[in-house]
Amino acid sequence: MSIKGYKVFNPDWTCRGFQYEVGKEFEHIGEIEVCQEGFHFCRKLADCFSYYAFDSNNKVAEIEATGLVKTKGDKSVTNKIKIIRELSWFEVLENCNIGVGNTGRNNTGHYNTGHHNTGDRNAGHCNTGHYNTGYDNTGSYNIGSYNIGGYNTGDHNTGHYNTGHHNTGNRNRGDYNTGGWNKSSYSNGFFNTITQKVTSFNKQTNLTRDEYEKLKGFQVLNLSYINNWWVRSEEMTDTEKEEHPEYQVTGGYLKTIPFTDACRLMWAHLTNKEKQAVYELPNFDKDIFEQITGIYIENPKSKKRNSKMRKIFGIVAKMFKIRCHHCGDVVEWQEYNTVLHRHIYKCRNCGKEWIW
């Protein structure tokens, strides 16, 4: 049984050094294997351009595989091939696109120069919207890329008419604006040319966002926070194996913990020097800090060690203040164990344990 397909050739009708000719049939002597030996082709025309440049100078033909055929993915190989006819570039464009009037390929929309567009009249690629010069836009009329909004020159904008980047608001020349018509960056207001100062712990500071993000205490928190990690099957408890039976295939599971639990875990691993840098953040307030992170701090200005013992691997115990998950009282850790990524706590008030 013969199979219809398509093949792309160099401008001189050669492919991998073999000379072809329209209307003739060719036979390969020997074994055939995809990407190794035999005459290769694709059953869908668009798939051919995963292996050949989408270039109108190349020759494209409809073929017929009349011998043995092997297929792997979108590519096939045969030992007998007949070159049925040459396809015009207009036919190629029409076959490679669901839409009409496209110069590019794999377009569902219409009149696209780029590729893989669902929208219309895009010069870029992978656009869902319309009239985009950039790439991966959901919105329309964007020169930039990755915009959800429309009429943006910049990139990654959710809003519209932005020249800058990463704006949620509209008509901004700067970057990361929530408001509109701003020349500055990081503004939630309108018609601003000066970058606004940020608040910290509900009070105004004299720092811009860029300046605040460079503070050591802020960087310590950003770099130390983690709320998930991979637990290997040999480290899993029986309960975890019951809850995640997929471990038998995956060799483990991704453990995820709540935000405040992750904050407490992060805090436990910080050095006193790193904690002091957090205490020195502008307007630091231990009550606000606890409301957000769940971390109880007895005396934020003290440089004394919160734990009598600290160790990265092995068992460490005693004297670290923490708020109990069960009774809510501020208590001391009775046990802290980081072996196999386990963190075991026991409340001295209610006697209950919990594990991270």
Q: Is the pLDDT of residue 266 over 70?
A: yes
Q: Is the pLDDT of residue 23 over 80?
A: yes
Task: Report the range of poorest mean pLDDT among 47-51, 167-171, 172-176, 326-330.
Answer: 326-330
In the prediction, which pLDDT does 249 show? 78
Of the chain, the percentage scoring pLDDT greater than 90 comes to 35
Q: What is the mean pLDDT of residues 323-346?
A: 51
pLDDT band, very low/low/confident/very high, at 36 (cuts 50, 70, 90): very high
In the prediction, which pLDDT does 342 show? 46
Q: Is the pLDDT of residue 318 over 90?
A: no
pLDDT digits (tens, 9 = 90+) for 207-252: 998 999 999 999 999 999 888 888 888 888 999 999 988 888 788 8
pLDDT digits (tens, 9 = 90+) for 126-142: 566 656 666 666 666 66
Task: Report the range of poorest mean pLDDT among 95-99, 111-115, 335-339, 352-356.
Answer: 335-339
Q: Is the pLDDT of residue 269 over 70?
A: yes
Q: Is the pLDDT of residue 157 over 60?
A: yes
Q: What is the mean pLDDT of residues 78-107?
A: 78
As a three-state string, the secondary structure of the chain is CCEEEEEEECCCCEECCEECCCCCEEECCCCCECCCECEEEECCHHHHCCCCCCCCCCEEEEEEECCCEEEECCEEEECEEEEEEECCHHHHHHHHCCCCCCCCCCCCCCCCCCCCCCCCCCCCCCCCCCCCCCCCCCCCCCCCCCCCCCCCCCCCCCCCCCCCCCCCCCCCCCCCCCCECCCCCCCCCECCCCCCEEEECCEEEEEEHHHHHCCHHHHHHHHHCCCEEEEEHHHCCHHHHHHCCCHHHHCEEEEECCHHHHHHHHHHHCCHHHHHHHHCCCCCCHHHHHHHHCCCCCCCCCCCCCCCCCCCCCEECCCCEEECCCCCCEEECCCEECHHHCCEEECCCCCCEEEC
Q: What is the mean pLDDT of residues 321-338?
A: 53
Pick the more confident residue, 68 or 103: 68
In the prediction, which pLDDT does 258 show? 86
Q: What is the mean pLDDT of residues 335-346?
A: 46
pLDDT digits (tens, 9 = 90+) for 167-210: 776 767 777 777 777 788 888 888 888 888 999 999 999 999 89
In the prediction, which pLDDT does 32 show? 95
Which sequence spans correspond to the domains of the chain?
3-95, 228-355
In the prediction, which pLDDT does 123 show? 67
